[in-house]
Amino acid sequence: VRYGFLSVAIVLSIRFILPILKDIAPLTEQDLPGYSYAAHFALTILFSLIAETLTFELVAWMYLKLEKFIERRKLRKELARKQEIESKEIKRIQEKFIENFILAWPLIAPRYKYFVYELRRGHKGYSDTNSAINYLRQQGWIHPITELPYSHCLYRLDELIFEALNRIESAATATDS
């Protein structure tokens, strides 16, 4: 490839630069006896080598930049595709969890339901030693926000449980109507 650039540069230099060089800096036999044409030709070849090197390096640099740009674009597309797949998978898992929770809700003991309904209204503080709170915490239905004095914590309801309760309530109001 580089020899192709060199050949094109030499031909173009001889065709265009040599006549211009003869007009700009005419060398006479007195300046360089017997070498006037050879000096112009040597300068032309020198200019062609410089032009070839600069052109080749510029094209190589642009090719590398283009290659990196294409690679980054492919990586971004692949990352976006993976994130979309992961997002769909997470939504599917969350939807399955909500469906299972809705199926299990009638079977849950009233004392657990009491705490879930209380936390649905807002954050509440409860003792860490309460067995119902520990069960709900182990199930991942409630999450501690901050610790309070005397072995108490401020808890919040998990977003998926909140969503499931909203669906249960809307289904109950739809059947009552």
CA dist 6 → 20, 73, 109 (Å): 20, 33, 86
- Phi then psi for residue 31, to 5 deg, are -65, -50
- Among the residue ranges 28-42, 95-109, 151-165, the one predicted with the least confidence is 28-42
Contact yes or no for 156/96 (Cβ under 8 A): no
Asked if residues 2 and 56 have their Cβ atoms less than 8 Å apart, the reply is yes
Span 82-130, pLDDT tens digits: 999 999 999 999 999 999 999 988 999 999 999 898 888 888 888 888 8
- Domain spans in the chain, listed from the N-terminal domain onward: 2-87, 108-176
Contact by Cβ (8 Å): 160, 120: no
Of 140, 161, 172, 159, residue with least CA distance to 98: 161
Tell me the CATH number for domain 108-176: 1.10.10
pLDDT level of residue 36 (50, 70, 90 thresholds): low
Where would I find the beta strands (DSSP E) of the chain? 124-127, 142-148, 152-157
The residue with tokens 């669906």 is 167
Q: In what order do the strands lie in the sheet containing 124-127?
A: 124-127, 152-157, 142-148
Over residues 33-44, mean pLDDT:
65
DSSP for 109-125 reads: -HHHHHHHHHHHHS-EE
The two tokens of residue 127 are: 């003792």
Percent of the chain with pLDDT over 90: 32
How confident is the model over 159-174, as pLDDT tens digits? 999 999 999 888 888 7
Q: How far lies 176's CA from each of 9, 106, 172, in Å?
A: 88, 17, 6
